[in-house]
Amino acid sequence: MIFATSDLFKRLRQSIRVCLALVLAGALASCVTTDPRLVAALQRTSVREIRVETAPDVRTAGFIDDKLAVQQQADAIRTLKSTMEKDLIGLPGGPTRGRLVVTLHVFDVSTKKARIIGGHDSLIDGTVRLEDAKTGQLIAEAQNIHGEDLSMRGNGYGVFIAVAINAATTSGAPDVMAQRLSNSFTRQVKAWLLTKK
């Protein structure tokens, strides 16, 4: 029991160090000036429609021939599109009608079983392109938008605790993990759309 407690304290100290490093990195990143041309282009636009597509070589966790995995992916993409429409339509608020085109390169939504037993994470990586809805002309593009919904691993906490936490975080609606992943990705897109000087 003493060893488990000391391991827990070591992990807690490591977590605190990582948090402090992230805060410092965020503070330094905020010192970097954003190109005013990007800010101006974004501020002249207002998202009016959103299209979500997958790259031909999109990386997913499911097998390509697995009909259930294909259906789950389609459902998760609908969840992502719905979340983005709810949170992003009308942003940043300029007069030009914009179309947001999201191309997914990684779209790995964990199944409940993989999440609980294997601690499998859910990840999205994509390119976001803002274009003039009328002409199709490119207004702005973000290359590496990332969303994630991380699970609890057994190391340091014990397998049973990790399994229990993962089970608790997957209970509820069947698409709870897809929704959390969509929320994470949408927050990143929103932060990009609202880029300030």
- pLDDT tens digit string along 55-88? 999 887 654 556 766 777 788 899 999 999 999 9
Query: Is there a single domain that holds both residue 15 and residue 71?
Result: no
Query: Is there a single domain that holds both residue 164 and residue 69?
Result: yes
Taking CA atoms, 175 is separated from 49, 62, 98, 179, in Å, by: 24, 16, 29, 6
pLDDT score recorded for residue 1? 45
Q: For the ranges 43-52, 59-68, 79-88, 173-182, which has the lowest average pLDDT? A: 59-68
The strand pairing partners of 100, in sequence order, are 50, 130
Query: Is there a single domain that holds both residue 88 and residue 163?
Result: yes
Query: Is there a single domain that holds both residue 98 and residue 7?
Result: no
Q: For the ranges 54-58, 102-106, 115-119, 170-174, which has the lowest average pLDDT? A: 115-119
Q: State the total domains in the chain.
A: 2
Query: Is there a single domain that holds both residue 115 and residue 28?
Result: no
- State mean pLDDT over 42-67: 84
- Angle of CA points 138, 141, 28, to nearest 5°: 145
- State mean pLDDT over 92-97: 96
DSSP for 103-143, please give it.
EEEEEEPPPHHHHHHH---EEEEEEEEEEETTT--EEEEEE
Query: Is there a single domain that holds both residue 122 and residue 55?
Result: yes
- State mean pLDDT over 135-146: 94
Query: Is there a single domain that holds both residue 11 and residue 95?
Result: no
- What residues make up the domain containing 53? 35-193
Q: What is the pTM of this model?
A: 0.71
Query: Is there a single domain that holds both residue 46 and residue 75?
Result: yes
Q: Specify the DSSP element, H or E, that contains 162.
A: helix 159-169
Query: Is there a single domain that holds both residue 16 and residue 92?
Result: no
- State mean pLDDT over 160-187: 67
Query: Is there a single domain that holds both residue 57 and residue 5?
Result: no
pLDDT score recorded for residue 14? 59
Query: Is there a single domain that holds both residue 5 and residue 96?
Result: no
Q: Is the pLDDT at 19 greater than 80, yes or no?
A: no
Query: Is there a single domain that holds both residue 42 and residue 14?
Result: no
